Amino acid sequence: MTDLTINVDEKLKKDAEAVFNRLGMDLPSAITLFLRTSVRCDGLPFEGRIEAFNDETLDAIAEAEELKNHPEKFKHYDSVSDLMEDLNKDD
C-alpha cells in the first residue's frame, strides 16, 4: 500500500463524502474504485471531452440548477395531460 495526498476544496470534499456515505462507502474507497475503474477502462470511466458540454448541454445544466434552487419560478402540472395540453398550445 502507498499513501496518496491530494488537495481539494473543503466543501467539495464534504459534499463528495456525503454522496459516497449514502452509497455505503467512504472517500478512500470511492477514490480506489475510481482508480481501479480507470485502469480497467484504460482511461477515464466517463465522458471527459470538452465538446461533450455544448451550449445546449450547458443550458440544460443551468436550467436544472435554477429549478433546484428556485422551484417556485417554474410552472407545475397536476397531470401529464395538463402538461401535454400546454405543450400542444399554439402560441
Cα separation of 74 and 13, whole Å?
A: 31
Q: Annotate 59-79 with three-state secondary structure.
A: HHHHHHHHHHHCHHHCCCCCC
For the chain, give the mean pLDDT: 87
Confirm if 44 and 52 have CB atoms less than 8 A apart: no
Calpha distance 62→48 (Å, rounded): 19
**Confidence band, pLDDT 50/70/90 cuts, at residue 34:** very high
pLDDT band of residue 16 (cuts 50, 70, 90) is: very high
Question: Higher pLDDT residue, 85 or 54?
Answer: 85
Share of the chain above pLDDT 70, in %: 92
Chain segment 37-54, per-residue pLDDT in tens: 999 999 888 876 656 667
Domain map (residue ranges) of the chain = 1-46, 50-87
Give the count of beta carbons closer than 10 Å to the beta carbon of residue 25.
Answer: 15
Please state the rounded mean pLDDT for residues 57-65. 85
* Stated pTM of the model: 0.51
